[in-house]
Amino acid sequence: MRTCGARVVITVGVALMTAVLVAVPAGAEDEGALIVMASKPVCRLRDPGKEGSVAQREVSTNKQIVEAISGEKLSDPNVHVDFSGPNPAIYIGKTFLVHVYPGDAQPNGVTPKQLAQTWAQQFRTLFPLVEPFKGTTGTTPAPLPPPKKLEVEVSPEDAVLLADLGALLEKARPLTAEEFTAQRDALVSEAAALIWKHTRQDGDPEEQPVVERANYSVFNGFRYTRELPPDYFAAERDYVAFTTVKRVRQAWSAAATPTATAEAGTEQPPAPQAGGQPACP
């Protein structure tokens, strides 16, 4: 599978937020995956759970937190624990966040119910810190940093891909939040198929691989560009398309190469730039 230039670590920002979540993958299996919000730890995942692996559970938890940030009230978060199932489930409002499994609790010397209450309190404390950025006074926005621009040469074939993907990113910008939620899966699938079409080499299967981390990278590309002001989107369109394609290709390569899986897991989602402007994917 082709890669696109030198390897870079790509982060995708949730737009106009003072602080967002990042995931810190484990350096050792028994340490699990640490989920961080507003630069503070919120929970450590150790049990593979129903996802089958800690890494996959990390991706799923990050997706749920992003959903919560976009759809739930954060200033006074309604974080609660549902104890009705076999494993406690933590929610904010109607949005599910994470289950707590015995493997998470045992290293802490507590029960899953006790750990769930601890995690819930951490979420309750940290969600208000990731509210949409409102400037230092709450009324005056902070100045935006210069937009990112694509400063590397790409092949003619990839230039066509970036143009097509940029058009798809632009297509999603006018959608309301409700419309985007309804069309999100279809948009992500269309973008992933487009990237696979321009990436597949002779001998590769015609059907693109289904890799959650790749789809998550595409999803965050849409989220990021939907929040950009018009002039920023015009300036950053090719850059965002390029970094999205690169991250998707890295995820596909990692899934196809077992020795690359650990490296792919070190890429961290979202961190904001200074001044409230979202960090580019």
Q: What is the pLDDT of residue 203?
A: 63
With residue 37 as reference, give the H or E element that holds it: strand 33-37
Q: Which tokens belong to 9?
A: 């670590």
pTM, 2 dp: 0.46
Dihedral sign, CA of 150, 216, 270, 166? positive
pLDDT digits (tens, 9 = 90+) for 264-277: 444 433 333 333 44
Mean pLDDT of 71-80: 88
Q: State pLDDT tens for residues 111-160.
A: 999 999 999 999 999 988 875 444 344 444 445 567 777 777 888 888 89
Mean pLDDT rounded to a whole number for the chain: 75
CA separation for the pair 108, 41 (Å, rounded)? 15
Residue 262 has pLDDT above 70, yes or no: no
Least confident of 12-26, 60-74, 97-111, 166-180: 12-26
The CA distance from 29 to 65, in Å, is 23
Q: Are 23 and 11 in contact (CB under 8 A)?
A: no
Residue pair 60/51 in contact by the 8 Å Cβ criterion: yes
* Residue 148, pLDDT score: 73
In this structure, the number of other CB atoms found within 10 A of the CB of residue 50 comes to 11
